[in-house]
Amino acid sequence: MKRILAVLATCATALGLTAVAGPQAVAGPQEAAAAGCKVDYTVTSQWQGGYQAAVKVTNLGAPVSGWTLAFALPDAGQRLVQGWNATWAQSGSTLTAANVGWNRTLATGAATDLGFVGSFTGANPKPTAFTLNGVACTGSVDEEPPPPVPGGSTPVGVNGQLHVCGVHLCNQYDRPIQLRGMSTHGLQWFAKCYNAASADALAKDWKSDLLRIAMYVQEGGYETDPAGFTSRVNSLVDLAEARGMYAMIDFHTLTPGDPNHNLDRAKTFFASVAARNAAKKNVIYEIANEPNGVSWAAIKNYAEQVIPVIRAADPDAVVIVGTRGWSSLGVSDGSNESEVVNNPVNAANIMYAFHFYAASHKDEYRAAVSRAASRLPLFVTEFGTVTYTGGGAVDRASTTAWLDLLDQLKIGYANWTYSDANEGSAAFKPGTCNGTDYSSSGVLTESGALLKSRISTPDAFPTG
């Protein structure tokens, strides 16, 4: 329901997926020497002849604008296959990872998460001699991941694999639960807002249960670089998983409104992410953000072709289907929930999306949700505190009425947006994502402060 102005395209950045060996990258003319750094290196998975590694780089010195990480591969048979969140290259036994646009600046204490897939013919020992802009990284290098948060203390730790039971989202104990969280903005515009620091803040300070990953398909999104956007989505799934949050993978279709326009892209994308993330317990799939200008029958047809693709790789995860009229259950088109109730998608373990913007959508929309909640499993995968344009003043009264209703009905939600966009719906003031503070009152907008106060209250998930 939000409308993104074309001028925001000037914020678009490259995602930096590189899958070839090449000449060693060198620091650009604006790259300042780092005064110190720390690298945490973890082999996240390994198979015969190959492995995947996560690399977290923390700047311990003065701020840098432009950086190149370099390190040696101790096994002569090791080769770079594919990397993400940086421009990767290999020269001999040396790997380099140079910043991309959205993570170019590293303030003092700031960190960025990278990753790559490698091949090997002999042993797979950990790399040595990490440098950032030519300065040795003397911090610790961890071969194993950091100790997990004590069991049962994170949303995923408590609830485990989710499923739909009746009209509710239920946890591993078959008890209805409500997930509360935030949605990213478009990754092509605000990728710099999504990193280790912002994920830490969301999990620890906001106490969020959920990160919705909004991957636009058009508007400079997935269709322009399928491999790069797929890798970025997977990276954010990992960020959420490491912090015990659920990750909702949103195939963010908006224009054109008929999801069948992107049917082949959806099948390709979901086959990839479902296969890659099938073993995870924290992934939820949202297959069509806001269908509009299209019938429920067409949406249902799309869903019944995409869901089997996901199920082939990941048979257990919850899938969320968008609804007519910008996911309003048809209300914005003059219809109502009866079309879905009377003609549901032919699939199990699914929910239906509902979206609202509090200043625009009030009693008529709340009445539809109240009626539908007794017949359909609903998830509010996106909502705003302002008008449907994403702008205007925060409507505190309507937002509070909505959130109270969702709490009462145990319907989960994700707020639009965890970003510093220059619009009323953003949680952060413009420029916030250039720093590392994502929680203090100084960086929060009125909308951000209101949502943080609601999300950070205890969940009290049932376990018995």
426 Cβ contact partners less than 8 Å away, ≥ 6 residues apart: 185, 417, 419, 420, 445, 447, 448
Six token digits for residue 305: 């072709």
Active site residues: 290, 382
The three state secondary structure string of the chain is CCCCCHHHHHHCCCCCCECCCCCCCCCCCCCCCCCCEEEEEEEEEEECCEEEEEEEEEECCCCEECCEEEEECCCCCCEEEEEECCEEEEECCEEEEECCHHHCEECCCCEEEEEEEEECCCCCCCCEEEEECCEECCCCCCCCCCCCCCCCCCHHHHHCCCEEECCEEECCCCCECCCEEEECCCHHHHHHHCCHHHHHHHHHHCCCCEEEEEEECCCCCHHHCHHHHHHHHHHHHHHHHHCCCEEEEEEECCCCCCHHHHHHHHHHHHHHHHHHHCCCCCEEEECCCCCCCCCHHHHHHHHHHHHHHHHHHCCCCCEEECCHHHHCCCHHHCCCCHHHHHCCCCCCCEEEEEEEECCCCCHHHHHHHHHHCCCCCEEEEEEECCCCCCCCCCCHHHHHHHHHHHHHHCCCEEEECCCCCCCCCCCECCCHHHCCCCCCCCCECHHHHHHHHHHCCCCCCCCC
Q: Is the peptide bond before 23 cis (omega within 30 degrees of 0)?
A: no
User: Could you give the CA distance from residue 339 to residue 353 in angstroms, rounded to a whole number?
Assistant: 14
Q: Determine the residue type at 361.
A: H
